Chain A
Amino acid sequence: SAVISQKPSRDICQRGTSLTIQCQVDSQVTMMFWYRQQPGQSLTLIATANQGSEATYESGFVIDKFPISRPNLTFSTLTVSNMSPEDSSIYLCSVWTADSYEQYFGPGTRLTVT
Chain B
Amino acid sequence: AQKVTQAQTEISVVEKEDVTLDCVYETRDTTYYLFWYKQPPSGELVFLIRRNSFDEQNEISGRYSWNFQKSTSSFNFTITASQVVDSAVYFCALNHAGKSTFGDGTTLTVKP
* Chain B, Cβ-Cβ closest to A97: B98
For residue B27, give the distance in angstroms from its CB to the closest CB of chain A: 15
Q: Report whether A108 and B98 are in contact in the complex, using a CB–CB cutoff of 8 Å.
A: no
* Chain B, Cβ-Cβ closest to A9: B43
For residue B5, give the distance in angstroms from its CB to the closest CB of chain A: 11
Partner of B43, one of A45, A90, A98: A90
Q: Report whether A102 and B50 are in contact in the complex, using a CB–CB cutoff of 8 Å.
A: yes
Partner of A103, one of B95, B101, B104: B95
B68 within 8 A of A: no
Knowing A102-B50, A103-B50, the reply to whether A43 touches B44 (Cβ < 8 A) is no
Knowing A101-B33, A103-B35, A103-B50, the reply to whether A45 touches B100 (Cβ < 8 A) is yes
Knowing A90-B43, A101-B33, the reply to whether A42 touches B98 (Cβ < 8 A) is no
For residue A27, give the distance in angstroms from its CB to the closest CB of chain B: 16
Q: Report whether A105 and B105 are in contact in the complex, using a CB–CB cutoff of 8 Å.
A: no
A113 within 8 A of B: no
Q: Report whether A94 and B43 are in contact in the complex, using a CB–CB cutoff of 8 Å.
A: no
Chain B's interface size range is 10 to 19
B28 within 8 A of A: no
A contact set with B: CB distance below 8 Å = 31, 33, 35, 41-45, 48, 90, 92, 94, 96, 98, 101-105, 107-108, 110
A43 to B98, CA, bound (A): 15
Which B residues are CB-close (under 8 A) to A35?
100
A43 to B99, CA, bound (A): 12
Q: Report whether A105 and B45 are in contact in the complex, using a CB–CB cutoff of 8 Å.
A: yes
Q: Report whether A101 and B43 are in contact in the complex, using a CB–CB cutoff of 8 Å.
A: no
Which B residues are CB-close (under 8 A) to A94?
100
B52 within 8 A of A: yes
B102 within 8 A of A: yes
